[in-house]
């Protein structure tokens, strides 16, 4: 049984070495063929731009939310402070 598996493995390796086009299983091995090259370029740009864009959107959201919270707190503090008329009446 082990001998048979070894023969099959060696035969598969020999075929892959002799006929490499049959063994081109990864996309990069055949990247130069046909229209795949532009697809890889577009995919690379997309994958390069997506993480910084996502981080930038999160930073922008957090910044806007912090400003809104600060404005709400300032409005609450302004409401709780006595008005100039109330101070004048004292």
Take residue 88 and report the two structure tokens written for it.
């004048």
- What percent of the chain is predicted at pLDDT more than 70? 64
Number of domains in the chain: 1
* pLDDT tens per residue across span 48-78: 999 999 999 999 999 999 999 999 999 988 8
| Cα 23 from Cα 30, distance rounded (Å) | 10
Which residue range(s) make up the domain with 59? 48-80
Domain assignment of residue 42, yes or no: no
| Cα 73 from Cα 83, distance rounded (Å) | 17
Whether pTM > 0.85 for this model: the answer is no
Domain assignment of residue 18, yes or no: no
């Amino acid at each position: 049984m082990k001998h048979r598996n070894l023969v099959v493995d060696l035969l598969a390796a020999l075929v892959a070495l002799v006929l490499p086009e049959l063994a081109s299983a990864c996309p990069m091995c055949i990247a130069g063929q046909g229209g795949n090259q532009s697809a890889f370029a577009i995919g690379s740009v997309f994958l390069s731009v997506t993480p910084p864009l996502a981080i930038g959107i999160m930073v922008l959201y957090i910044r806007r939310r912090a400003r809104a919270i600060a404005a709400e707190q300032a409005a609450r503090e302004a409401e709780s402070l006595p008005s100039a008329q109330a101070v004048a009446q004292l």
